[in-house]
Amino acid sequence: MYGYHRFFSATSFSNAFGHFDEDRVRETKMAGCPCGGRLDVANYLRKPRGGPPGLEDSHSLRLSLCCARDGCRRRATPPSIRFLGRRVYFGAVVVLVSAMRHDITKLLAAKLYRLLGVSERTLRRWRQWWLETFTASSFWTSERARFMPPVTQADLPRSLIERFLAPNGSLELVAVMRFLSPLTTGKAFAPEHAF
């Protein structure tokens, strides 16, 4: 579905997702801290699952900054297209596998478990997140109006990513992840809906 297999090669993944996060960090660093302090690099290590074999270690870093001013030390973590909030799996995996839910047979579920380590229980949890937490987020409440006709919420995320298909039918996955990137900062959710 949507040629998802091509996104799971190390080269494609690196090329597609390599620049967005670095650009957001540069923009955030140039803006500085609201207190007027300088922002320094304060990346932290993630142990993401579901990435292609041979992926560089740099893809395991969540790029972040921290104010250098004593008394502030406020963290500034810009949006990301590699991760989807605090999810353990890479964001693209969560989106694509969740969109495949209608097509997942027992055989495919077993294959996904072998390839990515995604259990059926995890798939159910992701489904619940899309239908309850995502649809209640302030992000989705404001952004869903961009789509006409409206996205079918009962069929998320498939109905959403279908809006990002190129004329030739291939999925513009980077565009999907850019659209969803505000979800990665935690500001898109009310406290009771945080990851």
Instruction: List, as one string, the DSSP characters of 114-173.
Output: HHH---HHHHHHHHHIIIIIIHHSHHHHHHGGGSSSPP-GGGTTHHHHGGGB-TTS-B-H
pLDDT higher than threshold 80 for residue 15: no
pTM for the full model?
A: 0.83
| Cβ contacts of 107 within 8 Å, gap of 6 or more | none
Instruction: Render pLDDT for 23-72 as a digit per residue (tens, 0 to 9).
Output: 999 999 999 999 999 999 999 998 888 877 777 888 888 999 999 999 99
For residue range 84-130, what is the model confidence (pLDDT) as tens digits? 888 888 898 899 888 887 667 778 778 878 878 888 888 889 999 99
Structural element, H or E, at residue 28: helix 20-31
Query: Dihedral of CA 22/24/25/27: which sign?
Result: positive
Q: In whole angstroms, how large is the CA radius of gyration of the chain?
A: 17
User: 3-state DSSP call for residue 35?
Assistant: coil
Delimit the domains of the chain by residue range.
4-183
The one-letter code for the residue type at 4 is Y
Please report how the helices 91-99 and 120-128 are oriented relative to each other, as an axis angle in degrees rounded to 10.
90
Q: Does residue 193 have a pLDDT over 50?
A: no
